[in-house]
Structure 1
Amino acid sequence: MKQTVLLFGLFLLVLTGASAQSFRALDKSPMDMAYYPDDYAHDRKFAPAKVGNDKLAARVTYTRPAKNGREVFGKLVPYGKVWRAGANEAPEVKFYQDVTIGGKKIPAGSYALLTIPNETEWTIILSTDLDQWGAYSYNQALDVLRVNVPVQKADTPIENFSIQFAKKDAQTATMYMGWDTTMIAVPVGL
């Protein structure tokens, strides 16, 4: 009897070990999404009345590096160089319909969102070069937009890089990007 129990125990141990799966640890810069309007993906499917009169819809998929006591802009993120606006892959912005940014018409679709941070203004770049790691392979010939926006000071330091939309009216929103004490506002309209 003891031998049968022992063999059964060994069988279970081998079976569990053979099917065990290990996953890598959590990324230090977790991925996030910002929608306009908030919860757009859910609401357009399950609660279309909540979307209401909003004609503008967008989504940004990006990663959120942490400040971790570091000096961010001018040091960790150098001024005057193309930056992926986050960590890991360049963020991807998807516009569900044609939009206007800085007076320039942008066709509906998905674009890499890059920036060139400076002390007083940032250049916002939309590129057709999707799925690029960082901005190491950046090719200006693939830009569909370059527009400058002024730098604002955040009321309180922002620990993790963040992107968020705010509604202005049914056809206009502002995409905010902020990290540490720096914030920028990008007007997006129809």
Structure 2
Amino acid sequence: MKKTALLIGLLFLSLTDAIAQTFRGLDKSPMDMAYYPDDYAHDRKFAPAKIGTDKAMVRVTYSRPAKNGRELFGKLAPYGKVWRVGANEAPEIRFYQDVTIGNKKIPAGTYALLAIPNETEWTIIISSDLDQWGAYSYNQALDVARVTVPVQKSDTALENFSIQFAKKDPKTATMYMGWDTTVVAVPMSF
């Protein structure tokens, strides 16, 4: 009987150890999505009358790092270097139809969203190189478009990096990216 109890105990411990190795801890940079029209997926399910006949035009999937008292632009995201616009994997931006950013026409599809931050302007990069961790393997030859936008300063600091869309009119929208007191606005037309 003692041998049976010992075997059952060892089996339980080995199963517990195997299960514990399957799960990782929570990521400090949770994933988020931004849609244009804003909150499209939520409204499609919970408030369909609010979206009416609108269809999703853009979706960005990204990780939201927190400031946590750190110096961000110029240090954590160095000036003049390609940054993944968030944390972890490079964000993906999906255009459901052709879009123009700046004077660059971009075909419908899914791309990586990167940037080169500087003090007064950012270069926004749309790249065909998907599934990359950060921007460590960035290859400029895979750029689909590059657009320069000015940096704006906000009076209110954002603790977590955020992306949100705002409608200008039926054919144009602006993608806002902000963190701490830095905000950039990326105009798009459809």
The verdict on a shared fold, with TM-score over 0.5 as the criterion, is yes
TM-score (norm 2): 0.86
- Is the Cα contact below 8 Å between 2:164 and 2:175 reproduced in 1? yes
Matches within 5 A, 1:56-67: 57-67=57-67
The residue aligned with 1:21 is 19
Aligned CA distance change for structure 1 residues 130 and 119 (closer, same or farther; 3 Å): same
The residue aligned with 1:149 is 149
- Alpha-carbon shift at residue 14 of structure 1 (Å): 5.8
* Counterpart Cα distance in 2 of 1:39 and 1:180: 22
* Counterpart Cα distance in 2 of 1:12 and 1:167: 61
- Alpha-carbon shift at residue 40 of structure 1 (Å): 2.5
Q: Is 1:171 matched up with 2:168?
A: no
SS in 2 for 1:18: helix
- Is the Cα contact below 8 Å between 1:85 and 1:115 reproduced in 2? yes
Which deviates the most, 162-171 or 33-42? 33-42
* Counterpart Cα distance in 1 of 2:13 and 2:41: 39
* Counterpart Cα distance in 1 of 2:14 and 2:154: 51
**What are the superposed Cα offsets for residues 106-158 of structure 1, whole Å, 9 maximum, x if unpaired?**
10000000000000000000000000011111000000000000000122111
Over the aligned positions, Cα root-mean-square deviation in angstroms equals 2.5
SS in 1 for 2:15: helix
Matches within 5 A, 1:6-155: 18=15, 21-22=19-20, 23-41=23-41, 49-52=49-52, 54=54, 57-155=57-155
Name the % identity.
77
- Is the Cα contact below 8 Å between 1:55 and 1:171 reproduced in 2? no
- Alpha-carbon shift at residue 42 of structure 1 (Å): 5.3
TM-score (norm 1): 0.86
Letter of the 1:65 counterpart: P
SS in 1 for 2:19: coil
- Alpha-carbon shift at residue 46 of structure 1 (Å): 7.9
Letter of the 1:115 counterpart: A
- Alpha-carbon shift at residue 39 of structure 1 (Å): 3.5
* Counterpart Cα distance in 2 of 1:46 and 1:27: 28
- How many residues in Structure 1 have an aligned counterpart in Structure 2? 186
Letter of the 1:18 counterpart: L
Aligned CA distance change for structure 1 residues 129 and 48 (closer, same or farther; 3 Å): same
- Unpaired segments ≥5 residues, structure 2: none
**What are the superposed Cα offsets for residues 148-181 of structure 1, whole Å, 9 maximum, x if unpaired?**
0000012211101111111112221110000111
- Is the Cα contact below 8 Å between 1:58 and 1:94 reproduced in 2? yes
- Is the Cα contact below 8 Å between 1:53 and 1:170 reproduced in 2? no
